[in-house]
């Protein structure tokens, strides 16, 4: 995790709620995430874990969807974002904070060329002239290794493959030299070969620019390729956080160990079949008592795991939310180490 003086983004005890037939549902529950300068942090979890909503709330995007930040703090480069006005947030979004989303076709306007769309971002946030903004757009397309960038800038989104459209989105997101790039499942819709190329490109861009990256994914294989530290979410809560090498070598939460054990490469190294975590994630209106993972946990013990909420404990290794973490560590390590 980032040292205090090196933090670019610090999310502290963030709680996000959405209205429903059951009242206000908590979909992000006292979540804390830190991203250092020149850092790459991954938030990983299944669908419905709260990982995407966490980042959306951090930059003021949940209110437009009817949600609210019930409590918590979001500090970006020394500024408090919770409660910040839309005008100030709009200046940050796309300028100091860039975004890449899962499906570029939903983010790119089919009626405009990709060059026009990148140039518009530069004009809006940097006040550049049309000529300078267009030159910047071509430069960015070249930066993400799109061949014949000057010509292709005149093409429309449908004229690009899925992988190339994602490169266009990366070009757009870094056109204003952001300090932080939030990448929300940017490779999920791509095949394995194209996914690897996009991850390599993101690492290259990050290395060359020194920007920080907050990467959202459900895939620990992606985490292994790009992250320096990992935050694991389950049931709207952080259940584990650690440097990536330490988490892969010695997970401390049964859910993390289950995700690792489900990876084909981990199972192959151990000479066993990939494991499957039993059951499904509960709905936000029906969280179980105690640990929210306990209905699916093969190590569950009645009492410590099923009554009172389990706190998130912090030590030199990171953070973990498990009543049995100390006693389970050798067992969980055996699950993932060949």
140: Cβ–Cβ under 8 A, 6 or more apart, which residues? Answer: 118, 171, 172, 174, 175
**Helix residue ranges per DSSP H, 6-61:** 51-58
pLDDT confidence tier of residue 1, bands split at 50, 70 and 90: low
Q: Is 86 helix (H, G, I), strand (E, B) or coil?
A: helix
Q: Is the pLDDT of residue 52 over 60?
A: yes
* CATH 3.40.50.300 is the classification of domain 4-96+178-336: yes
Distance set, CA 215 to CA 35, 100, 287, 322 (Å): 10, 9, 26, 24
Question: Is the model's pLDDT at 40 over the cut of 80?
Answer: yes
Average pLDDT over residues 96-117: 89
Provide the mean pLDDT of the chain: 93
Residue 316 has a pLDDT of: 86
pLDDT at 4 over 60: no
pLDDT band at 125 (very low <50, low <70, confident <90, very high): very high
Pick the closest to residue 175 from 137, 212, 148 (CA basis).
137
- The domain locations on the chain are 4-96+178-336, 107-176
Q: What is the pLDDT of residues 207-263, one digit of tens each?
A: 999 999 999 999 998 999 999 999 999 999 999 999 999 999 999 999 999 999 988
Q: Does residue 303 surpass a pLDDT of 90? A: yes
Where are the alpha helices (H) located in 154-228, listed in sequence order? 162-174, 192-209, 220-226
Round to whole Å and give the CA distance between 89 and 81. 8
Alpha-carbon gap, residue 242 to 179, rounded angstroms: 23
Strands 229-234 and 40-44: parallel
Q: Quick: pLDDT tens for 249-267.
A: 999 999 999 999 988 887 7
Query: 219: Cβ–Cβ under 8 A, 6 or more apart, which residues?
Result: 44, 188
- CA pair distance 200, 259, nearest whole angstrom: 23
């Amino acid at each position: 995790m980032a040292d205090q003086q090196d933090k670019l983004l610090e999310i502290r005890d963030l709680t996000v709620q959405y209205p429903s037939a059951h009242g206000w549902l908590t979909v992000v529950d006292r979540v804390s995430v830190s991203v250092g300068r020149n850092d790459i942090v991954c938030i990983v979890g299944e669908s419905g874990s709260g990982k995407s909503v966490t980042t959306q709330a951090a930059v003021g995007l949940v209110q437009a969807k009817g949600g609210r930040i019930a409590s918590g703090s979001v500090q970006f480069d020394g500024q408090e974002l919770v409660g910040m006005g839309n005008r100030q947030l709009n200046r940050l979004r796309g300028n100091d904070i860039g975004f890449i989303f899962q499906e570029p076709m939903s983010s790119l306007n089919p009626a405009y060329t990709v060059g026009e769309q990148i140039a518009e971002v530069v004009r809006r946030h940097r006040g550049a002239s049309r000529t300078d903004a267009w030159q910047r757009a071509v430069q960015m397309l070249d930066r993400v290794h799109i061949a014949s960038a000057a010509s292709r800038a005149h093409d429309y989104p449908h004229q690009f493959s899925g992988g190339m459209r994602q490169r266009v989105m990366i070009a757009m997101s870094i056109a204003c030299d952001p300090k932080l790039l939030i990448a929300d499942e940017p490779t999920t819709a791509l095949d394995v070969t194209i996914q690897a190329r996009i991850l390599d490109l993101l690492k290259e861009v990050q290395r060359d620019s020194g920007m920080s990256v907050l990467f959202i994914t459900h895939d620990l294989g992606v985490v292994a390729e790009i992250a320096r530290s990992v935050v694991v979410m389950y049931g709207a809560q952080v259940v584990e956080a650690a440097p990536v090498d330490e988490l892969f070598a010695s997970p401390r939460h049964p859910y993390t160990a289950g995700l690792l054990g489900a990876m084909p490469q981990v199972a192959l190294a151990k000479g066993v079949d990939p494991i499957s975590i039993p059951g499904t994630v509960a709905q936000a209106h029906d969280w179980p008592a105690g640990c929210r993972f306990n209905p699916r946990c093969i190590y569950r013990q009645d009492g410590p795991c099923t009554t009172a909420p389990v706190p998130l404990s912090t030590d030199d290794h990171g953070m973990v939310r498990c009543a049995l973490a100390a006693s389970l560590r050798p067992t969980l390590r055996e699950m993932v180490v060949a």
